[in-house]
Amino acid sequence: MSKLWGGRFTKATNQLVESFTASIEFDQQFAIEDIEGSIAHVTMLSECAIITDEEARQIIDGLQTIKKKIKSGSVNYTIEDEDIHMNIERMLTEEIGPVAGKLHTGRSRNDQVATDIHLYVKKKTKEMINLITAVQQAFVNQADTNIDVIMPGYTHLQRAQPILFSHHILAYFWMLERDKERLKDSIKRVDWSPLGAGALAGTTFPTNRERTAELLGFDTVYPNSLDAVSDRDFVLEFLSIASILMTHLSRISEELVIWSSQEFNFVELDDSFCTGSSIMPQKKNPDVPELLRGKTGRVHGNLFGLLTVLKGLPLAYNKDMQEDKEGLLDTVITLDGSLRLLAPMIDTMQVKKENMYHAVDQDYSNATDIADYLVTKGLPFREAHEIIGKIVLYAIQQKKYLLELSLDEYQSFSTLFAKDVFTFLEPKHVVDARKSLGGTAKSQVQQQLAQAKAVMEG
């Protein structure tokens, strides 16, 4: 089978080269975008009288027929045609004859592939925003259902201060909200049309790039043809945002793994999101959050892979840039699966309220509040901090918790202590005392939850 570009060559392509350089195994996923770009291009060619209206009609009809076949899964791609562009052009020639050759007037595969990727990234960015929203709704649902549940808050994975579980889970809502905002903002940089830039220097035909941009729904066109065909900043940005997003998903996954352990026993994941052991019948393994955590590495790797590919490339297009696609496609698949799994897993998760409360009732995480108590009695915080440190050490030595110490024991460290210290030490009081903006007091979390719901509705 002769190549569509084979006129200058005297030898057939080495089969090893053909296999090594072909991209059809993965870029066939851009088939619909490729046809959309071609329809816009041929429409513009007709409007600019570069081809006739009848030729444009034949080409568009042929492309629509191929599009239907692709959607039905009835097309066969060949490695001999290298990539999705040449495969579709070959199909089009078989469908409508030599007039198909006029489709490529005034464009190159360089601006064609760039257009495909722009369209693909824009579509997938919008899909990811919707999938993130579903995960956010799951966090809101859990926060709403468990608004009063008290749990330990941690720093250094050591119990620090009692907080509301709803406060903790909503932290992830806001992380994902920033991810959504990053994705939304990135669309304005994806919305640049490279179509019509040619191989690198434009075209001699009187084309109208603004028209193809309009037909494809792009906001603007690249003002520089070299930049148009060689830019992959928008892919890097998508991969960067995806890496941040997966980092957030990995963090909640880590907590789910820890919380569902027998040692913590704070939550139980639904059976449908766990697996068992082939040898230990008692096991219920949190495989989904573990794998979510693990897949973060491949998304990070895809970002660094493309950064490395692009770092030394001269303008304009180079074959190295074929490596821009597999990492992008893999990241999209990974994100899609991760987000689709996380939303129902969070939504169906059982929160073990008693176990969480017991954890804060049997620790020293209310120590800061005794320091604050002494401050309200007029003692400087640093002095109060030292006194409470000594009280905690004493309580540990006595194998008691702070609520188990007597008033006499407290007063042996400071005469400022009175009976009301025990009210200060109650976990509910400790939580509700933190009424500063964004704090863990129920009143503040209720405001935060209302704000989150408003964000979802907006």
Q: Any idea which residues carry the catalytic annotation?
A: 156, 277
- The answer to whether the bond into 316 is cis (omega within 30° of 0) is yes
**CA 367 – CA 402 distance, rounded (Å):** 8
DSSP 2: -
**CA 263 – CA 157 distance, rounded (Å):** 13
Q: Find out whether 268 and 352 touch, Cβ atoms under 8 Å.
A: yes
Instruction: Please say whether the dihedral angle defined by the alpha carbons of residues 57, 62, 68 and 70, taken in this order, is positive or negative.
Output: negative
DSSP assignment of 58-108: HHHHHHHHHHHHHHHT-----GGG-SHHHHHHHHHHHHH-GGGGGGGTT--
76 CB neighbour count, 10 Å cutoff:
7
Q: Find out whether 317 and 110 touch, Cβ atoms under 8 Å.
A: yes
Contacts of 194 (CB under 8 A, 6+ apart): 111, 114, 115, 118, 221, 222, 228, 229, 231
DSSP assignment of 186-198: HHHHH-EE-TT-T
**CA 297 – CA 242 distance, rounded (Å):** 11
User: Beta 158-164 vs 150-155: how paired, if at all?
Assistant: antiparallel
* 186 phi/psi in degrees, rounded to 5: -70, -25
**CA 259 – CA 268 distance, rounded (Å):** 8
